Amino acid sequence: MQYGFLQKALITSVMVGIISGVIGCFIILRGMALMGDAISHAVLPGVAISFMLGINFFIGAVITGILTAIGIGFINQNSRVKNDSAIGIMFTAAFAAGIILITFMKSSTDLYHILFGNVLAVRPSDMWMTLIVGIFVLLSVYIFYKELLVSSFDPIMAQAYGLPTKMIHYFLMILLTLVTVASLQTVGIILVVAMLITPASTAYLLTDRLSVMIVISATCGSISAVIGLYLSFTYNLASGATIVLVATALFFMAFIFSPKQGLLWRAIRTNKQKSAVS
């Protein structure tokens, strides 16, 4: 009975680990890690407004997330300001606006929970929302896998044969805001980007095929969620931070031991070559 909340926390975290792992693969392959960080911060004002209006906070979050993505694209295309600067300007502005809006709300614990997550307070409605979002995200990637692959790998060819690459970009941004909002309670806004890029980067070191990379990344994301949640519950640590550190530990294991890319095998191979030469 009293573990009901733990079960909800577990299901939610695993789902978040899977979908952030999947979307994260496309984020890192498109060189958009900074964009991932930006969009995750930019949902804050949307979440605050949704709270005030009493509507579901996915709605507000998607709106401010997408507005920020469009703003970044607009500045980038209409001035000489570089892409990373445009991202920095827009997302800090959105984040600052969010902080001011939230101070109008009743308690500062809300802000704390949105920023850092509070997985043990997951309500049944949150869990169902996360599951629905998760299924939507996974189905989208499954259905548009071919288009996501070619537009990430060779956007020029994709555009040349008539794919709407801009629309695909914004569609990915929508998925990104959905994943961010789904992750609010497990890891919080500040650390969402870690769940997007760390498991995906781990997978990137372990395989040469996108489909396999997605599976490994989702697995790393959910394993991090389970182990992180266990550690945070047993030792009374902040859940989001613990999950992220577990994901980081997995990354460094791949960084050292990956058969093809790992430091260890590379060192062994160069040693062998050296002794072969001498």
Partner 1 sequence: MKDAIVVSNLHVSYYGKEVLHDIGFTITEGKSVGVIGPNGAGKSTLLKVLLNLIPKDKGEITILGSTLKEVRKRIAYVPQRSTIDWDFPITVKDTVLIGTYPTVGLLKRPGRKERELAMKCLEKVDMTEFQNRQIGELSGGQQQRVFLARALAQQADLFLLDEPFVGIDATSEEMIVKILKELRDEGKTIIVVHHDLNKAEKYFDELLLLNKELIAKGSVEEVFTPKMISKAYGGQLSFLDGVMDK
Instruction: Print burial letters for 10-24: b (CB count within 10 Å at least 16), e (below 16).
Output: bbbbbbbbbbbbbbb
Question: Of the two residues 151 and 180, which places its CB atom closer to partner 1 in the complex?
Answer: 151
CA nearest neighbour of 224 among 240, 235, 201: 240
Tell me how far, at minimum, the Cβ of 159 lies from partner 1, in Å.
6
When asked if residue 277 is in the footprint of partner 1 (CB under 8 A), the reply is no
Question: Of the two residues 44 and 218, which places its CB atom closer to partner 1 in the complex?
Answer: 218
When asked if residue 235 is in the footprint of partner 1 (CB under 8 A), the reply is no
When asked if residue 263 is in the footprint of partner 1 (CB under 8 A), the reply is no
Tell me how far, at minimum, the Cβ of 154 lies from partner 1, in Å.
7
Q: Report CA-CA distances (Å) from 186 to 107, 141, 218.
A: 20, 22, 16
Binders in 5-34 for partner 1, by CB under 8 A: 29
Instruction: Print burial letters for 65-88: b (CB count within 10 Å at least 16), e (below 16).
Output: bbebbebbbebbeeeeeebeebbb
When asked if residue 140 is in the footprint of partner 1 (CB under 8 A), the reply is no
Q: Scanning the structure block, which residue is given the tokens 């970009």?
A: 169
When asked if residue 78 is in the footprint of partner 1 (CB under 8 A), the reply is no
| 191-217-19-87 Cα dihedral, nearest 10 degrees | 50
Question: Of the two residues 159 and 219, which places its CB atom closer to partner 1 in the complex?
Answer: 159
Question: Of the two residues 121 and 157, which places its CB atom closer to partner 1 in the complex?
Answer: 157
Question: Of the two residues 61 and 206, which places its CB atom closer to partner 1 in the complex?
Answer: 206
